[in-house]
């Protein structure tokens, strides 16, 4: 590609990123779309957001009193995180009062046992998730996901005209890694969400290791661990450390109660981080709000409080699931802060409407399972209100 060709490209992307995208088979219209994705992060929070963003940013607050629909935490950041954020607000006249970004990276590095150059913070994990699709898929290298799973990667790919193949979960709700590979043996990216949203189920590390070993050369395996602290299962980080084609994604939007503060991070080989950053010169990762960085750093080390929050969630989940099962309904066995109810005879959309009449906002359903709703585990008080509403809406 010559400089003259590039001059005609309708994009604000840096020339090297534009050249790479064109070389990988994207066209000029795709480039404009990709530039839009990186330029409208703030707009994505409005109701007029494009389809690719719809799964990553929750809808405006529902009117319901009990909000157990969006997999948010029922309470705010951990106390040490809140204290650190308050302190950071007071000195936010400085762009970086004392290397808060570095502090965050060093803390992640120590806790997760990864070299500091393998860590990059981001404002939430939605951006790096979409960015992974752009960076490692192309018109000739598709995306493979499970079904059902978190939709953002698939929606980003569809928005860009990248092929998406979805492989149903196994009968015991793991990602069917063999079926995923068979579905598209030449994909650019295999997305593994564990614990999976919406099922809350785990894909064992052996399955992930198998996929990493058998995937095509150069393809990436993206392991989304948004809910890992709720499950307390081992991370895919050791697999990532042994293979440069693995990316691990985390967010502070779940157990850390920081969805509105926008913090997340990726762990992967530095060359992948560089590839993911080239569309905006590292702007999103480099310019994070100080209070969010400080809150995240202080929260990561609060081990006892994390364990306490997990136990609180488990008690509320056990209570709610017992009430659902008492109605003779089936629940997918979950290890995260969500569970799925199969209403069997009723569409999930109708049940969501029925719960709304009781001022309880439960979660959505997935096309592959139209009679199954996702319910987020809230506080024990939330789940008691959920159980009361259930009594009213489920007569069967």
Q: What is the DSSP string of 109-172?
A: HHHHT--GGGEEEESSSHHHHHHHHHHH-BTTB-EEEEESS-SHHHHHHHHHT--EEEEEPPTT
By the 8 A CB rule, do 164 and 196 touch? Answer: no
Min dist. Cβ of residue 56 to ligand PLP (A): 5
Min dist. Cβ of residue 71 to ligand PLP (A): 5
Selected binder of ligand PLP within 18, 73, 129, 222 (CB under 6 A): 129
Min dist. Cβ of residue 149 to ligand PLP (A): 8
Is the CB of 54 or the CB of 179 nearer to ligand PLP? 54
Q: What are phi and psi of 123, to 5 degrees?
A: -75, 80
Q: Rounded to whole angstroms, how far apart are CA atoms 190 and 207?
A: 13
Count of helix runs (H) and strand runs (E) in the chain? 17, 12
Is the CB of 20 or the CB of 224 nearer to ligand PLP? 224
Min dist. Cβ of residue 258 to ligand PLP (A): 8
Min dist. Cβ of residue 318 to ligand PLP (A): 22
What would the x/- binding string for ligand PLP be over residues 30 to 69, using CB under 6 A?
--------------------------x-------------
Q: Would you call 46 exposed, middle or buried from its count of C-beta atoms within 10 A (0-12, 13-18, 19+)?
A: exposed
Q: Work out the end-to-end distance of the chain between its first and last CA atoms, rounded to an integer number of angstroms.
A: 65
Is the CB of 129 or the CB of 316 nearer to ligand PLP? 129
Q: Rounded to whole angstroms, how far apart are CA atoms 202 and 239?
A: 16
**Contacts with ligand PLP: how many residues (CB under 6 A)?**
15
Specify which residues 190 forms β-bridges with: 144, 221
Q: Rounded to whole angstroms, how far apart are CA atoms 231 and 194?
A: 9
Q: How many CB atoms lie within 10 A of CB 381?
A: 11
Is the CB of 107 or the CB of 292 nearer to ligand PLP? 292
Min dist. Cβ of residue 250 to ligand PLP (A): 8
Collapsing DSSP to helix, strand or coil, 155 comes out as helix
Residues 6+ apart with CB under 8 A from 325: 331
Q: Could you say which DSSP state residue 57 is in?
A: S
Residues in 152-191 that interact with ligand PLP by CB under 6 A: none
CA-based diameter of the chain, in Å? 69
Is the CB of 18 or the CB of 157 nearer to ligand PLP? 157
Q: What are phi and psi of 251, to 5 degrees?
A: -140, 155
Alpha carbon 97 to its chain centroid, in Å, reads: 30
By the 8 A CB rule, do 284 and 123 touch? Answer: yes
Min dist. Cβ of residue 110 to ligand PLP (A): 22
Q: What are phi and psi of 154, to 5 degrees?
A: -60, -40
Please tell me whether the peptide bond between 148 and the residue prior to it is cis, using omega within 30 degrees of 0: yes
Q: Is 21 in the site for ligand PLP (CB under 6 A)?
A: no
Selected binder of ligand PLP within 11, 107, 156, 253 (CB under 6 A): 253
What would the x/- binding string for ligand PLP be over residues 366 to 385, using CB under 6 A?
--------------------
Tokens of 248: 């691990």
Q: Is 248 in the site for ligand PLP (CB under 6 A)?
A: no
Selected binder of ligand PLP within 68, 105, 157, 226 (CB under 6 A): 226
Residues in 99-128 that interact with ligand PLP by CB under 6 A: 124-126
Selected binder of ligand PLP within 203, 251, 268, 352 (CB under 6 A): 251
Which of the stretches 34-42, 251-259, 279-287, 307-315 binds ligand PLP when contact is defined by CB under 6 A? Answer: 251-259
Q: Is 231 in the site for ligand PLP (CB under 6 A)?
A: no
Is the CB of 107 or the CB of 125 nearer to ligand PLP? 125
Min dist. Cβ of residue 73 to ligand PLP (A): 11
Specify which residues 331 forms β-bridges with: 341
Task: Tell me which residues touch ligand PLP (CB under 6 A).
Answer: 56, 71, 124-126, 129, 150, 193, 197, 224, 226, 251, 253, 259, 264
């Amino acid at each position: 590609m010559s400089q003259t060709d590039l001059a005609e490209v309708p994009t604000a992307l840096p020339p090297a990123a534009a050249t790479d995208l064109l070389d990988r088979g994207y066209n000029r219209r795709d480039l404009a779309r990709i530039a839009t994705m990186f330029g409208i992060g703030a707009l994505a929070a409005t109701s007029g957001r494009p389809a690719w963003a719809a799964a990553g940013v929750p809808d405006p607050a529902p009117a319901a009193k009990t909000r157990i629909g969006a997999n948010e935490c029922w309470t705010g950041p951990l106390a040490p995180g809140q204290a650190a954020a308050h302190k950071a607000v007071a000195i936010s006249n400085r762009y970086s009062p004392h290397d808060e970004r570095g502090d965050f990276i060093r803390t992640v590095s120590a806790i997760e046992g990864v070299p500091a150059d393998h860590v990059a913070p981001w404002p939430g994990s939605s951006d790096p998730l979409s960015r992974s699709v752009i960076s490692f898929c192309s018109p000739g290298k598709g995306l493979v996901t499970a079904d059902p799973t978190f939709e953002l990667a698939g929606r980003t790919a569809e928005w860009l005209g990248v092929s998406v193949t979805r492989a149903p979960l196994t009968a015991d709700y793991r990602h069917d890694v063999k079926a995923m590979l068979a579905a598209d043996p030449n994909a650019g990216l295999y997305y593994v969400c564990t614990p999976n949203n919406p099922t809350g189920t785990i894909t064992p590390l052996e399955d992930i290791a198998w996929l990493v070993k058998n995937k095509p050369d150069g393809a990436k395996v993206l392991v989304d661990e948004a809910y890992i602290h709720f499950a307390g299962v081992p991370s895919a980080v050791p697999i990532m450390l042994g293979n440069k084609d693995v990316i691990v994604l985390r967010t502070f939007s779940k157990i850390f109660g920081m969805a509105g503060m926008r913090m997340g991070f990726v762990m992967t080989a530095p060359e992948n981080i560089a590839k993911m950053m080239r569309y905006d010169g590292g702007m999103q990762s480099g310019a994070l709000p100080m209070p969010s960085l400080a809150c995240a750093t202080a929260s990561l080390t609060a081990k006892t409080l994390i364990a306490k929050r997990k136990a609180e969630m488990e008690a509320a989940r056990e209570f709610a699931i017992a009430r659902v099962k008492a109605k003779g309904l089936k629940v997918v066995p979950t290890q995260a802060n969500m569970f799925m109810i199969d209403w069997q005879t009723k569409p999930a959309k109708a049940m969501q409407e029925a719960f709304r009449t009781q001022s309880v906002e439960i979660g959505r359903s997935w096309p592959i399972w139209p009679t199954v709703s996702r319910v987020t585990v809230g506080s024990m008080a939330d789940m008691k209100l959920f159980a009361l509403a259930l009594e009213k809406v489920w007569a069967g």
